[in-house]
């Protein structure tokens, strides 16, 4: 009979062999956590290899993603569509076995991990999503939302600050279906961690409100099983299992040492490990009885069939809820979304409110929120400034909504954790999450925004107080380089609207943008309403459009602006017209979307024959060079801001009609 250790050794062998074949990778963690993984995956994890997206599966997250061969070996052995050839091509071009797990590339991988700690944060998002979705849809006798989130993590995850942010929230929210397994091997790339990591991790997590299971032998299957049984019996607290392991377990000369962490073991050490482990098979050879011991295809199919039958009974008892559940999981917007959202935009254009775009954002939430029960959002302790709460907001964690049927998350001052949790909410399914802070603090969250785009995840990142217009708080709080920084993230769309209408359209576009993130950037100060035709309103959704053209004459220059600077560009255009200089004004709230438009459209907005161009934005000037060219100019920021009232700052830094007019005149030759 195949033993547990033999099943685990298959994982160790595949990890050794794949890393050796690639001449690159991390064999130590997979070898050290193989026994933990074997017990979890064979005895507890509810999943279906034939359908990796079966809704009620347990979620497994590898936060210490450098040990990706652990997950690839598990997926291969349990029957996912990850054939041996993919493992043989570990870390190679076009393989499904990238250096770190990627959700978009590998069936069975729930989220893209690698930047340490973010997998734990995503897992908190998964667990929060499960809790809130269950409150929304479960009914007595019909618990159709009932699954757990398991996450493996290591010393590096716990050293990263994001782990403190999200572990604190998980404890506060009482996420009883979250189980984290800590690979306490005492080794990182620089060696033994006791020289720089002396935290009392169990006490730390107990202080967060977690259930902590200490002193687990990570190589003793009975010990591991008892710990996981304890964890899943806990209903009102997340659980941390502290498992002591030996990194590189089975490699006689390198186990327990940093040499096994991030480099191939080498042929001699692999041969010695095979002998020590009693694994006599050739590289990438797995005997039939080992495959049989790992096979979860039949069990997975049965689990899904049982759930499908339970859902059919639920649908019979609660047909409207079942239809809504299916709609949300499919990522489909409500049938009346397009009609009602377009009507709201048209209403705003007709009414012409002059408000700060952060207020316009809240107005959009008030209009769109009742249409979208899947919308869940929150702010990093700035709800009153970001204006992210709308009339239908209810606490989704603890507090106002005792039944858990909330849609608003109080994240506290945790920008990084908040953003990565939002990614988890998006990936889980059933929600469109948004998060919010000041634009300047997007720096704290930027790597999680990058992961939103890389995964990709349908998360909406809201940033207010978008420029030196913030005013008296000074340069520490005035974003300068942040717009460009976020625009440079591939697959991210950043919107900086100029008034309430563009603000509503930016929300609408972000909501409709499936499978990828958006950043919505709003002003603190009131902005003027801009007059538009119906055609111009429609063209906002193309990222950039002609807002104003001279009448009965050909324009000599083009002014391009975003956000609060659009009204400045319009005033400059009127002044220039009085001097018989005709200019076109282009509002470009989303440069990324404009760049995706057909050449014919872009040429129609920014014709190549007009090289006299001036871009105006109260942010880093250099970004706009690609639009204005060598002959154009940019009225932008080349320094940090200063502490003063906003109107004084705009004048001090050259955001005046006179300065813009002079810039246009210099470009006309």
> DSSP class of residue 644?
S
C-alpha to C-alpha distance for 204 and 197, rounded to whole angstroms: 13
C-alpha to C-alpha distance for 64 and 408, rounded to whole angstroms: 29
Residue written as token pair 């004048």: 651
Q: Is 441 marked within a binding site?
A: yes
Residue whose C-alpha is closest to residue 66's, from 123, 20, 112, 13: 112
C-alpha to C-alpha distance for 566 and 591, rounded to whole angstroms: 14
Q: Is 358 marked within a binding site?
A: yes
Q: Is 183 marked within a binding site?
A: no
Q: Which two tokens stand for residue 482?
A: 């942040």
Q: Is 406 marked within a binding site?
A: no
Asked whether the beta carbons of 541 and 590 are under 8 A apart, the reply is no
C-alpha to C-alpha distance for 477 and 469, rounded to whole angstroms: 10
Residue whose C-alpha is closest to residue 133's, from 412, 512, 396: 396
**How far does the chain reach from its first CA to its final CA, in angstroms?**
87
415 is catalytic: yes
Which one is catalytic: 415, 565, 567, 617? 415
Enumerate the β-bridge partners of residue 561.
587, 616
C-alpha to C-alpha distance for 57 and 125, rounded to whole angstroms: 15
Distance of alpha carbon 116 from the chain centroid: 14
Q: Is 155 marked within a binding site?
A: yes
The answer to whether the bond into 456 is cis (omega within 30° of 0) is: yes
Count of Cβ atoms closer than 10 Å to residue 200 Cβ = 9
Q: Is 217 marked within a binding site?
A: no
Q: Is 76 marked within a binding site?
A: no
Q: Is 114 marked within a binding site?
A: yes
Q: Is 115 marked within a binding site?
A: yes
* Helical (H) or strand (E) element with 39: helix 28-39
Enumerate the β-bridge partners of residue 584.
558
How distant, in Å, are the alpha carbons of 320, 331, 332 from that of 327?
11, 6, 6
Q: At a CB cut-off of 8 Å and minimum separation 6, what does 13 contact?
A: 274, 277, 279, 281, 283, 286
| Binding-site residue ranges for substrate | 26, 261, 358, 385, 465, 473, 477, 524
| Binding-site residue ranges for Mg(2+) | 155, 185, 187
| Binding-site residue ranges | 26, 66, 114-116, 155-156, 185, 187, 261, 358, 385, 441, 465, 473, 477, 524
Active site residue ranges = 415
């Amino acid at each position: 009979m195949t033993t547990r250790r033999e099943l685990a050794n298959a994982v160790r062998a595949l990890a050794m062999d794949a890393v050796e074949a690639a001449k690159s990778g991390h064999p130590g963690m997979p070898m050290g956590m193989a026994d933990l993984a074997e017990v979890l995956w064979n005895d507890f994890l509810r999943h279906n290899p034939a359908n990796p997206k079966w809704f009620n599966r347990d979620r497994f997250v590898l936060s210490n993603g450098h040990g990706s061969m652990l997950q690839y070996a598990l997926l291969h052995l349990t029957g996912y569509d990850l054939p041996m050839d993919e493992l043989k091509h570990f870390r190679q071009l076009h393989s499904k076995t990238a250096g770190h797990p990627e959700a978009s590339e590998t069936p069975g991988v729930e989220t893209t991990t690698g930047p340490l700690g973010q997998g734990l944060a995503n897992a908190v998002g998964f667990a929060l999503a499960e809790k809130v979705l269950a409150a929304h849809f479960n009914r007595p006798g019909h618990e159709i939302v009932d699954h757990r989130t398991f996450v493996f993590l290591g010393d590096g995850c716990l050293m990263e600050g994001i782990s403190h942010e999200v572990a604190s929230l998980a404890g506060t929210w009482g996420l009883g279906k979250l189980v984290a397994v800590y690979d306490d091997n005492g080794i990182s790339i620089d060696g033994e961690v006791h020289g720089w990591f002396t935290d009392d991790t169990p006490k730390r997590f107990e202080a967060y409100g977690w259930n902590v299971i200490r002193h687990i032998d990570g190589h003793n299957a009975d010990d591991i099983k008892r710990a996981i049984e304890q964890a899943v019996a806990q209903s009102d607290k997340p659980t941390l299992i502290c498992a002591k392991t030996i990194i590189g377990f089975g490699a006689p000369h390198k186990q327990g040492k940093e040499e096994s962490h991030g480099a191939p073991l080498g042929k001699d050490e692999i041969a010695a490990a095979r002998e020590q482990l009693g694994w006599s098979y050739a590289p990438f050879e797995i005997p039939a009885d080992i495959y049989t011991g790992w096979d979860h295809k039949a069990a997975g199919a049965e689990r899904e069939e049982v759930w499908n039958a339970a859902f059919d009974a639920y649908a019979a008892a609660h047909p409207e809820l079942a239809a809504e559940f299916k709609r949300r999981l499919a990522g489909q917007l409500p049938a009346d979304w397009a009609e009602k959202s377009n009507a709201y935009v048209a209403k705003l254009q007709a009414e012409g409110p002059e408000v700060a775009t952060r207020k316009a954002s809240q107005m959009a939430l008030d209009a769109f929120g009742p249409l979208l029960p899947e919308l869940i959002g929150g702010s990093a302790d700035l709800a009153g400034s970001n204006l992210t709460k709308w009339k239908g907001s209810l606490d989704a964690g603890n507090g106002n909504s005792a039944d858990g049927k909330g849609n608003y998350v109080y994240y506290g001052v945790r920008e990084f954790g908040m953003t990565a949790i939002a990614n988890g909410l998006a990936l889980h399914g059933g929600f469109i999450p948004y998060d919010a802070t000041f634009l300047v603090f997007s720096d704290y969250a930027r790597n999680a925004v990058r992961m939103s785009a890389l995964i990709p995840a349908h998360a909406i990142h809201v940033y207010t107080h978008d420029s030196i217009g913030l005013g008296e708080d000074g340069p520490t709080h005035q974003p300068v380089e942040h717009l460009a920084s976020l625009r440079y993230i591939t697959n991210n769309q950043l919107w900086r609207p100029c008034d309430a209408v563009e603000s509503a359209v930016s929300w609408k576009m972000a909501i409709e943008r499936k499978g990828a993130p958006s950043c919505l950037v709003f002003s603190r100060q009131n902005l003027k309403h801009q007059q538009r035709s119906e055609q111009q309103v429609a063209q906002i959704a193309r990222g950039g459009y002609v807002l104003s053209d001279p009448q009965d004459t050909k324009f000599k220059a083009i002014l391009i602006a975003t956000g609060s600077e659009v009204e400045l560009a319009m005033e400059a255009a009127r002044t220039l017209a009085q001097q018989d200089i005709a200019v076109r004004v282009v509002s470009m709230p989303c440069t990324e979307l404009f760049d995706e438009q057909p050449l014919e459209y872009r040429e129609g907005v920014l014709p190549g024959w007009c090289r006299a161009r001036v871009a105006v934005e109260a942010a880093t000037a250099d970004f706009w060079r690609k639009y204005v060219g060598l002959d154009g100019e940019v009225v932008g920021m080349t320094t940090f801001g200063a502490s003063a009232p906003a109107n004084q700052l705009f004048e001090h830094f050259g955001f005046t009609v006179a300065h813009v007019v002079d810039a246009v005149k210099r470009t006309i030759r």
